[in-house]
Amino acid sequence: MSIPSDELTRYSLENLSEDDLLFLIKAYADRRTDHEDIRSLINGDSDIIEMMAKSDRVFQRLMDRGTIVQSISPYFFFSLLLRRTSQDLINQPELMDEQLAEVNQQDQTIPWTSERAQKLLADDSITDYLANMISMFLRSSRMFKVSGSDEQSFFYLIDLIEDCQKSDPVRRFRIYCHIGNYTLFLTGLFPEFIEHRFRYRRRPVDEHFYMDFGKTYYGLAGDHRLARSQELDGVFHQLSAGYEVVKTFLNFTASRYLRKSCA
């Protein structure tokens, strides 16, 4: 039986689609015409692709609204965007300190230092996981389903938890992952949605409610044997321990770049 990691590790810089790779090459080597030759040389070479993906030329091309939707996959768009945000925060200490000040106000047992946050945000496995998760959840119906093959939709965390209690171990692992992903997707990219429901629709849950569940269920996912067999236990434990940092990182991405690119 397949498990969530099939979707959540589907794409990486090592196995880009032909369209994604050609977009990268044309943006980076914009004065050359032998793009197909370059593609055959670098395909699967994550070190070279990573270097190209972080270039200013590629990012400027990414922000060209006329080519984004037509040229690249959602995974690659978010992969490039998240890598740029990580660079911004690492290369501009004042920005990093500003974001961490907010995080450390949330009663952290061990305050987040700039060095600790940089290590988390520079981890390619975290970036690829987030890019896969976000691109998967952009399909609105997928947000409310534990797996792509599910017929049942869940609109409330309490219903997911009830389903978890009567599920087999594989299904339980799926639900752990889904709760972590669902809460991070909302708090990271759409915190105003949670705030609006809390303030004006009298829903009794605020952002901290979602964050607490996200941290808890990412931790449970990381402890599960299936996470270890899929080599995702480290990712889940980092997302649990660093939930506030990753959430703030996504907030920064959305406000600085994502909304601008969609305006």
pLDDT at 203: 59
Per-residue pLDDT tens for 6-61?
A: 778 888 888 888 889 989 998 998 888 888 888 888 887 888 999 999 999 999 88
Nearest 10 degrees: Cα torsion 135, 139, 145, 151:
-140
Q: What is the DSSP letter of 140?
A: G
Q: What is the mean pLDDT of residues 142-168?
A: 83
Residue 261 pLDDT > 60? no
Q: What is the mean pLDDT of residues 202-210?
A: 72
Per-residue pLDDT tens for 83-107?
A: 999 999 999 999 999 999 989 987 6
Q: What is the mean pLDDT of residues 123-141?
A: 90
Split at pLDDT 50, 70, 90, the class of 263 is very low
Residue 233 pLDDT > 90? yes
**CA–CA distance, 11 with 74 (Å, rounded to integer):** 10
Residue 131 pLDDT > 90? yes
pLDDT at 68: 52
pLDDT at 1: 42
Q: What is the DSSP letter of 155?
A: -
Q: Which of 10-14, 76-80, 234-238 has the highest mean pLDDT?
A: 234-238
Here the tokens at position 220 are: 């449970």
pLDDT at 150: 78
Q: What is the DSSP letter of 148?
A: T
Distances (CA, A) of 135 to 8, 11, 126, 140, 209: 9, 10, 14, 10, 24
Percent of the residues in the chain that have a pLDDT greater than 90, as a whole number = 48
